[in-house]
Every structure is written in structure tokens, then in C-alpha cells.
């Protein structure tokens, strides 16, 4: 049953929210749904799909946070990396009259109409992970990562290790039109501007292992062992590229050095094994923050429009040390 957002009643919301915090009598630190009233919060979550190890970790984090124990009834949809399916899922949530909608938008553009429909229906939207080009007035808040900084950190490693050597580089881009791919490309280009690193090619592998393998096979046929460095926008495309590199009789991590983004388990294992050379983390554990934002918005609280979760990076030695205790 859709709740009215206590719009403009921040004080009442704050009191309700505070009461929830004091209602330790529930024995579960106030985790009783919409800030203490005990009602279950129905949330529609429109996920991109299941394209990568990062996505699996993100989905797990979201399902854990939006659990019945935490006062939620979660309606989950994975859109197989197709925006039209994702928009259809959001429209379905609106028709079901959910209390709030969470979206991990596959691409930046194309969201204005359906976000307006949710707003007109009085259903607040929280974005997690990627961003949209639509006006900030059309959603309550966004929680995610600084993709441009991730690209910049990867570029700084390439510059530090290859500038001045006339190195040839190929790029595996993420999903075309996604904020993660667009912003990582921007950050990487900024960090490597003015170097003598030669970008031979840059094509999308759609953030998947299969996509990374297929595009890398094409690069190897075209450029062969002229390739010195691979920058992959995520671990999974880099892992797919490993198969192509080894099938071509080359040694990844040596003949072709590899820098990726995400730092999921399989990527960190490849780094520890010396097949990758550097990874920039992209933290997928956004569920708890997204759930807090939904509860605060429904309680009429004023929330930050943007929340950026910090990332780190890993060398081979750091990966070996971190692997045993990594949560994903
Ligand atoms: C980044 C996320 C990207 C990951 C990929 O926040 O949107 O999508 O880097 C995933 O692994 O597919």
C-alpha cells in the first residue's frame, strides 16, 4: 500500500525517524520499516541485469538491505542490460503503487518521461550506481561512485608506467551510453593527455566477459603483438580478454599489461596471479545506503542529492594481501 510522502513535514518526519531510533523495544534497532510506524515499505528495484561480477555483488547488497527483516517488501527486476525493459519495469512498479522505486540506470539518457510519471504518481525515486542526464528534480537522491576518478586513477597508472615509451594501448569500453563508461573514458583521457601513449582502438565489450573476449580477439587479429597495454572499463571484460590473449600465445600481465576497474574477486585473483597489473576498485556494496535513503525520503527527511562511496586501488602485492578478507 503506497504511503503518502510526508512532503514538507520534515519536523514530523524527524520526530518519527528519531522515535524509530528510540524504539529499541523492537529489539532490532528500529529496523521496522518506514522509520518506526511498523508498516512494511514496498520498494520496486530496477536492476540493469546480471552482466558482471560487480552486478552480482551489487544485487546481493541491495537484496540484503531491502529485506523483510529490515521492513521492506522488495519487488526486483533485472532488465538483461536493455533500457527499454528497465523503463517497462519502472512503469510496472508505478502501476503497482509501490512506496518507492530504486533504479540502477543502464544508460544516462531516456529517463525523463518515466521519472516524471513516478513523480506525478507521488512515488519517490532513488538512483543507485550509475547516473542519469534527467533533471535532479525528477529523483530524490543518488548513491554511487566517482567513475571519472576511477578512470583518472587507471590513466595515472598507465602514464606512470608507460609514458615516454611509445606504448600502444587498446581500450575495452563499458556499456555504450552508460555513465560508468562515459565518465571512466573522460577521466582516463584527462590523465593520459600529453603523453606519447598511442591509443590504437577503443570499442565496447558491454561490461561482459564474452564481449571483452570477442573485442580483444579482433584487436589481436588487427594489431597482434604491437599491443603493449589493455585498459578495460571493468574486470569482467579484462577476464574475457585474458582468454583471447592466451589463445594468441601471448602472456597477459607481461606481453600485454592490463589495468581494469571494479576489484571483484575474480579480477583480484587475476591480479594476484600476475595476469592483471593494476585494478581500481568500484565498490558495489550500495544497498545499505540506498535503503537508508528510501526510509529517510519516505519519512519526509531532507536528504543529500548525491552520495559518493569511496574507492581504492590495488597493485599485485596489495591484491595478494587483501584477497583473503575481501567481502566480494
Ligand atoms: C559501476 C557499474 C559497472 C561496473 C561493471 O558502478 O555500473 O557496471 O563497473 C558493471 O562491472 O557491469
**82-104 pLDDT per residue, tens:** 999 999 999 999 999 999 999 99
Q: What is the pLDDT of residue 44?
A: 98
Query: Please, what is the average pLDDT of the chain?
Result: 91
Domain ranges of the chain: 33-144+284-309, 147-282
**Looking at the predicted structure, is the pLDDT value of residue 244 above 50?**
yes
Identify which of 67, 47, 68 has the alpha carbon closest to the alpha carbon of residue 56: 47
Tell me whether domains 33-144+284-309 and 147-282 share a fold.
yes
Looking from the CA of residue 129, the nearest atom of ligand 1 is: 6
Domain 33-144+284-309 CATH class label: alpha beta
Identify which of 244, 187, 180 has the alpha carbon closest to the alpha carbon of residue 212: 244
Q: What is the mean pLDDT of residues 38-61?
A: 96
Identify which of 215, 53, 182 has the alpha carbon closest to the alpha carbon of residue 106: 182
**Looking at the predicted structure, is the pLDDT value of residue 37 above 70?**
no
What Å distances lie between residue 12 and 18, 163, 191, 220, 298, CA to CA? Answer: 10, 58, 48, 63, 12
Q: What is the pLDDT of residue 224?
A: 93
C-beta of 148 in contact with ligand 1 (< 6 A): no
CA of 284 to the centre of ligand 1 (A): 8
- Lowest mean pLDDT of 28-42, 242-256, 278-292, name the range: 28-42
CA of 106 to the centre of ligand 1 (A): 10
Residue that is written with C-alpha cell 571512466 in the block: 184
Looking from the CA of residue 54, the nearest atom of ligand 1 is: 11
Identify which of 68, 31, 81 has the alpha carbon closest to the alpha carbon of residue 295: 31
**How many C-beta atoms lie closer than 10 Å to residue 120's C-beta?**
9
* Pairwise CA distance, residues 120 & 94, whole Å: 10
C-alpha cell at 320: 595478494
Q: What is the mean pLDDT of residues 38-54?
A: 95
Domain boundaries 147-282, corresponding CATH code: 3.40.50.2300
Q: Which residue has the higher pLDDT, 8 or 302?
A: 302
C-beta of 262 in contact with ligand 1 (< 6 A): yes
C-beta of 213 in contact with ligand 1 (< 6 A): no
Residues 247-288: pLDDT tens digits? 999 999 999 999 999 999 999 999 999 999 999 999 999 999
**Looking at the predicted structure, is the pLDDT value of residue 18 above 60?**
no
To test the ligand 1 pocket, which listed residue (46, 48, 55, 154) has its Cβ within 8 A of the most ligand atoms?
Answer: 55
* Pairwise CA distance, residues 92 & 86, whole Å: 10
CA of 293 to the centre of ligand 1 (A): 21
Q: What is the mean pLDDT of residues 191-199?
A: 98
C-beta of 237 in contact with ligand 1 (< 6 A): no
pLDDT category at 300 given cuts 50, 70, 90 is very high
To test the ligand 1 pocket, which listed residue (46, 154, 207) has its Cβ within 8 A of the most ligand atoms?
Answer: 207
C-beta of 209 in contact with ligand 1 (< 6 A): no
**Looking at the predicted structure, is the pLDDT value of residue 234 above 80?**
yes
C-beta of 234 in contact with ligand 1 (< 6 A): yes
pLDDT category at 22 given cuts 50, 70, 90 is very low
C-alpha cell at 213: 573476449
Residues 167-194: pLDDT tens digits? 999 999 999 999 999 999 999 999 999 9
C-beta of 206 in contact with ligand 1 (< 6 A): no
CA of 236 to the centre of ligand 1 (A): 10
C-alpha cell at 96: 503497482
pLDDT category at 35 given cuts 50, 70, 90 is very low
Looking from the CA of residue 261, the nearest atom of ligand 1 is: 9
CA of 115 to the centre of ligand 1 (A): 22
35: left (phi over 0), alpha (psi -120 to 50) or beta: left
CA of 35 to the centre of ligand 1 (A): 31
- Lowest mean pLDDT of 30-44, 99-113, 141-155, 291-305, name the range: 30-44
Amino acid at each position: 500500500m503506497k504511503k503518502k510522502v510526508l512532503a514538507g513535514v520534515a519536523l514530523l518526519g524527524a520526530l518519527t525517524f528519531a522515535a524509530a531510533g528510540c524504539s529499541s523495544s523492537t529489539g532490532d534497532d528500529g529496523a521496522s520499516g518506514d522509520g518506526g510506524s511498523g508498516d512494511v515499505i514496498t520498494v520496486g528495484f530496477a536492476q540493469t541485469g546480471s552482466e558482471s561480477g560487480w552486478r552480482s555483488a551489487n544485487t546481493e547488497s541491495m537484496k540484503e538491505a531491502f529485506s523483510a527483516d529490515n521492513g521492506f517488501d522488495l519487488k526486483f527486476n533485472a532488465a538483461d542490460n536493455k533500457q527499454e525493459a528497465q523503463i517497462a519495469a519502472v512503469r510496472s512498479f508505478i502501476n503497482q503503487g509501490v512506496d518507492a522505486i530504486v533504479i540502477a540506470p543502464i544508460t544516462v539518457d531516456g529517463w525523463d518521461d518515466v521519472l516524471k510519471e513516478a513523480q506525478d504518481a507521488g512515488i519517490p525515486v532513488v538512483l543507485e550506481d550509475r547516473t542519469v542526464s534527467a533533471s535532479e528534480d525528477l529523483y530524490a537522491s543518488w548513491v554511487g561512485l566517482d567513475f571519472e576518478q576511477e578512470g583518472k586513477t587507471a590513466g595515472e597508472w598507465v602514464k606512470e608506467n608507460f609514458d615516454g615509451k611509445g606504448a600502444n594501448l587498446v581500450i575495452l569500453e563499458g556499456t555504450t551510453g552508460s555513465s560508468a563508461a562515459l565518465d571512466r573514458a573522460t577521466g582516463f583521457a584527462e590523465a593520459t593527455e600529453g603523453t606519447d601513449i598511442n591509443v590504437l582502438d577503443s570499442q565496447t565489450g558491454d561490461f561482459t566477459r564474452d564481449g571483452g573476449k570477442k573485442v580483444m580477439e579482433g584487436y589481436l587479429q588487427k594489431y597482434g603483438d604491437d599491443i603493449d597495454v589493455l585498459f578495460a572499463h571493468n574486470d569482467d571484460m579484462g577476464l574475457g580478454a585474458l582468454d583471447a590473449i592466451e589463445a594468441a600465445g601471448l602472456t597477459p600481465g607481461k606481453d600485454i599489461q592490463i589495468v581494469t576497474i571494479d576489484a571483484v574477486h575474480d579480477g583480484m585473483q587475476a591480479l594476484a596471479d600476475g595476469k592483471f597489473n593494476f585494478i581500481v576498485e568500484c565498490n558495489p556494496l550500495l544497498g545499505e545506503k540506498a535503503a537508508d535513503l528510501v526510509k529517510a525520503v519516505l519519512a519526509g527527511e531532507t536528504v543529500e542529492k548525491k552520495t559518493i562511496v569511496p574507492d581504492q586501488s590495488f597493485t599485485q602485492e596489495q591484491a595478494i594481501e587483501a584477497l583473503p578478507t575481501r567481502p566480494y
